[in-house]
Chains A and B, each alone.
Chain A
């Protein structure tokens, strides 16, 4: 751009800044005839200028003066002067101080760097002179449904009551609304706003050809009914749910099933689940009577918090942090209040005390996390199909043995049993209380399985398992470790299926804290590798150990004898330590203890079989007898041995049940204390779950209030905030700006609504329409206000630079995901399937290599062309394209995305491999389509932008094509690809007009 040109623009914009101030002033003057509105006009001034020292926070209060209550305002501070004398502004200390010319008198004091404007001082004076009427902050007052105003103009400008409110306001300002957008623009706008996708050519053609008077509404209805509607609107919600596919912090642990919550949101929105139910299920679905898995899955909302599972992190500290986040997020999402500001002290500006913060916190303190098995129908179908086939094959494979065993039972079992040498020792399985897995850098908590076995989750060497248990057993003579495996599967984690137990040691800690090492004198194993004797696991040398190669596909056993028999009382905790230095880890193991006399054998004979042996034959069941027969047949009968080997091989092929789990909340009662200055270790008074006194009444179901009571209180129609906050965000999603511009803050420091009656109308209408999201969206998009042209109105740039008055629509750059979707859709590459696990579009390795988890299993095939919404969101390595276009990083709830405009965006649109592929694909498609070139150019332009090029644009396209054709040595596809790339880089392509 030429420098001169730039200057002109700069000048225009300088004027704008001035104009902005003037406009604000003018609009204040316009309302001069009406009495001052305390809640909307005065309270924000007091809050912003005075409450830091004279507000609700007692600890910060100066001069014993508080100005956030009527008593305070009419009273005196330390100086003795009355702050406000109703009707007499010239005598009121408040006014005198604010207008004082003396540095040591003026308020706020000079060091506060905060001063009310001349206009605000004028308002304050008028308010005092009008008798200083008091009231509460506007947002705390119930929504009032004002009469729909009449307007002078009618016709096309008024399509529904929204327009009455907007046009009446415009008329007061002496303005007219903008004309309606043309139909091509409208269909594109609606498609982006409702589906997050550009309209496909068919829809545009059908709409343009539809001459029925209600064609517009029909279009809206078909878009509302599209399953892509849920995708689009779920993304808005997921921003505030701080949704991600990993847990953040050092490990940034993957959450492979987080998508279940994301899909719950998509489905709920597609089904138009009423917003009150939508709320209750997410905050307390688990507490609903007979809660379904779906309702529990909804509580995944608050499982999206970050989680610090760094080794050595203080777990309780993190649990408290998570509960604080849930409290603050709930307040921000539903109440639009900066509740989080009261974590360390009473809110400086709003009516939220430190105690009240912890009353809200108590709801989430009384909460734990639970992962519920939630295999998806498609996964289950596949699993069951495979299982069925496997079982059928299995019974065929089993048949010969099943037929053979009864004969063997009758003919051979008694003799076999007589000849058998049974081990003497009987074992009691150790039931672990806590299991930790410690590596050089890290520590993980493991959970023992139902059979008390412990499975390793990684193969990290130079590591150890530490198993704590209470044995409650007398005269223990030996311990046993069983290395377990599924039939036919390797028992170790090395490549060869091997493991090496470097060291095994045992420590006992008694109730008084004394600890001692339990001395082990001998180790025996059922089998040992040539260089890997059992004794090497207690030789004190970590570089040697017990190993079992090459017998890797079967279970093994090692026993350790104690130097002297030990009694382990109830107070004693025993710590077993299993160290793996080299070779490989055991895949799964189980511990046991015995009080049998030594020497004890290392026998792989299962405890269950031993129990059968110990039962006299006449008291055994037929099944038990068959089990014994099978055991012996496997040892002595050649034919049966063969058959068993085949069966074992088949066992190894057993399909695995889907491991999908839903992250949910469950109730768990705890004591809640105030955290003094927000420090979880400094406990203040105990508090009970409760709500904010400034808001409506709270009626818990009885007993101690829980999350379900909180959720119902939040969606109580008496709540002045939830409906307003929610319709305001919906409005923002459709206009780019809320009626309350500070969508995240409805407190006294937030902005007042530009159209308070309209906001209240929509809020009450939302509730009246059964909290239907689709109904309120329908109402808004069918208004003439929404359908106005977005063209800038130069004559209003000075008066209303932010388009607060809604004298036109806004031009908004598309969100990150929608930009991706638009490229994919225009090129025809888009895979429009809905839901399921997140995808990993290919990325260069150096981008993913900065975090600890460097794996990025690139998605291939058609799945890589799915919508942006489905891109795996790893908190430590957010997908660069999404971040470049201002998608949130999911550390905290986001209610409004930045819409930046940067060179990195230009580089991304130009050169990102996905976008480049899209443009080339489109180029080839155009080139393969009917000619001549001009028609191809025109078609590409229309396909991407939804309109025909102007003559000047056509000329530019032709010249571009000519040059690119030459540069590409006559390659028609490449030249059209270049043109497509240019069109897809246009501002218009990534803008919703």
Chain B
């Protein structure tokens, strides 16, 4: 990560040369991964965050935002006034027609939240979630949209939400990174690691990619032929010789290095335990659907085949990680980009994620973790009411990217469940009530963690940057 050490950083972190980053860490006593760089501005309601990111732009009108009018208008053109000034990725707007939805919606929970037949399990947690039907963004292409959603800017190089939280909060765990990323790749995440990068913040705030099988983190396993005993003796040797050197040099940076090796060793010991699901009851495994059978799908699925188990394990891993003090877990699944074959691939993707996501909420709740764990489930934008008729598409079977209105939900961590925020017009084209911009979402997330989004800043290139750029309003309705 590029980093330009400015005066502020010299004063807040102290700098290299005198042992720099070690200071904050050692002052904190144990959490060596990252010390907080800021103090919360008010009492936080959330302490940890699980962010489920369904890459590609799931269709809101097929999942969260029922629009019976769509079927009535099926095959008709939209008035020109609605299309003017709209930019689409592929859709040819002159000839596009409204596409109806075959989905049926049902009321769920005591709150009576209307949700699609594709997500019955999420329906079962309706009373815990706050569904926002009035999200909107500025970006209509994947990478800029994902960057805006994940880093608050459509231009690469800014810190991700998880990195900002780490920067503000520091680590809770003594032996795991503070920000972990789990990926069920599907066809791959367009922006790659930019979505969990620490941008211009120090690289220690970067998300660490975990796997849910084998060695969970790169280099966490001993090299071939090295037993734990040998490894331990080697680390002891490193510590001893570093300490001897430090007697002559007296550089606090060496103390930091010694401590980092201790923590690395602890991480090596702890990581396999996180991965090991032996201790989980069959009931829990079944709740997440770890061993579900995956239905066959004709013609393949861009969201991936053979990922039912992977995604379920990732959700379970997310709970295990935050239980062990990890601050932020980001779960990715790609792709929900249904330009075509939406009625085949969307049901398959929903079957893939519906049960494990609902299970995660239930599991957190029954363990008393939900109240201070914020869970967010969303994507970079929604999809068009118009069927996609890009040049060359003979049959219209999907929807294009739509930035004006989309849905996303949150739970736990101070969120008031069982409510729907915002409304859209009859075809989910524009927001008609309580618009929530991506910056507003970020402002609210930071608020839940005790931060005033205008004050959590970092000086880079002569400017005080913040997650919400120059915009963002906290949405009090989220927490009631």
Which of A's residues lie within 8 Å of B, judged by CB?
A: 1, 3, 6, 9-10, 12-14, 16-17, 20, 113, 239, 248-250, 252, 306, 308, 310-314, 321, 332, 338, 340-341, 349-350, 438, 440-441, 443, 463-464, 466, 503, 542, 577, 579, 736-737, 741-745, 747, 749-751, 791-792, 794, 797, 801-803, 810-813, 844, 846-847, 849-854, 874-878, 880, 883-884, 886, 888-889, 891-908, 910-913, 916, 950, 952-953, 956-957, 960, 963-964, 967-968, 974, 978-979, 981-983, 985-988, 991
Contacts and interface: CB of A to CB of B under 8 A. Distances in A.
B437 interface: no
A986 B192 contact: no
Contact of B223 (A797, A916, A987): A916
Contacts of A852: 187-190, 192
B26 A851 contact: no
A850 B193 contact: yes
B391 interface: yes
Given A14-B27, A987-B257, A851 B189 contact: yes
Given A338-B461, A813-B253, A891-B156, 17 more contacts: A248-B156, A249-B143, A250-B143, A312-B141, A466-B391, A737-B15, A744-B462, A844-B218, A851-B192, A886-B203, A902-B204, A916-B223, A956-B240, A967-B227, A967-B233, A981-B234, A987-B254
A886 B197 CA distance: 12
Nearest to B267: A903
A745 B392 CA distance: 50
Contact of B18 (A16, A250, A813, A911): A16
B3 A897 contact: yes
A902 B205 CA distance: 10
Contacts of A803: 17-18
Contacts of A908: 218-219
B3 A898 contact: yes
Given A847-B218, A896-B5, A910-B231, A310 B253 contact: no
A746 to B, nearest CB: 10
A802 B209 contact: no
Contacts of B218: 844, 847, 880, 907-908
25 contacts: A1-B262, A6-B26, A10-B29, A13-B14, A13-B22, A16-B14, A338-B463, A341-B462, A341-B463, A440-B340, A577-B392, A742-B6, A791-B249, A850-B188, A850-B332, A874-B192, A875-B194, A886-B202, A891-B2, A892-B157, A898-B202, A904-B177, A911-B220, A978-B233, A982-B241
B251 A911 contact: no
B440 interface: no
Contacts of B4: 742-745, 894-896
Contacts of B332: 850
Given A6-B26, A899-B20, A953 B219 contact: no
Query: Which 9 residue pairs are nearest across A and B when measured between Cβ atoms?
Result: A876-B192, A312-B89, A894-B2, A891-B157, A906-B264, A851-B192, A338-B462, A250-B190, A898-B3
Contacts of B188: 849-854
A408 B193 CA distance: 68
B177 to A, nearest CB: 7
Interface string B243-259: 01110111111111111
B16 A812 contact: yes
A316 to B, nearest CB: 11
B108 interface: no
Given A737-B17, A813-B16, A910 B209 contact: no
Contact of B253 (A1, A239, A901, A985): A901
A360 B446 CA distance: 37
A13 B202 CA distance: 21
Interface in B191-225: 191-194, 197, 199, 202-204, 206, 208-209, 211, 217-223, 225
Contact of A950 (B7, B244, B263, B463): B244
Contacts of B143: 248-250, 308, 310
B23 interface: yes
Nearest to A902: B204
A332 B260 CA distance: 35
A441 B203 contact: no
Nearest to B233: A963
B461 A968 contact: no
B69 to A, nearest CB: 27
Nearest to A894: B2
Nearest to A916: B223
B128 interface: no
Contacts of B203: 883-884, 886, 898, 900, 902
A854 to B, nearest CB: 6
Which of B20, B209, B254, B392 has the most A CB atoms < 10 Å from its CB?
B392
A849 B185 contact: yes
Contacts of B156: 248-249, 306, 875, 891
A880 B210 CA distance: 13
Nearest to B1: A889
Contact of B229 (A898, A906, A967): A967
Interface magnitude class on chain B: 35 or more
A6 B232 CA distance: 21
A189 to B, nearest CB: 15
Contact of B244 (A20, A308, A884, A953): A953
B233 A249 contact: no
Nearest to B95: A515
A827 to B, nearest CB: 14
Given A850-B189, A889-B2, A464 B267 contact: no
Contacts of B47: none
Contact of A249 (B29, B190, B234): B190
Interface string B83-96: 00001111000000
Nearest to A984: B238
Interface in B398-421: 401
Contact of A904 (B22, B90, B144, B208): B208
Given A844-B218, A851-B189, A903-B264, A792 B251 contact: yes
B238 A986 contact: yes
B2 A902 contact: no
A312 B185 contact: no
Given A741-B5, A745-B462, A903-B263, A988 B390 contact: no
B86 to A, nearest CB: 12
A10 B19 CA distance: 11
B136 interface: no
Given A314-B87, A902-B33, A982 B237 contact: yes
Contacts of B202: 886, 898, 900
Given A13-B19, A953-B244, A239 B264 contact: no
Nearest to B17: A810
B339 A906 contact: no
A437 to B, nearest CB: 10
B2 A901 contact: no
Nearest to A579: B392
Contacts of A851: 188-190, 192-193
B39 to A, nearest CB: 13
Nearest to A990: B257
Given A13-B26, A963-B233, A249 B191 contact: yes
Contacts of B15: 737, 801-802
A239 B2 contact: yes
A907 B190 contact: no
B249 A903 contact: no
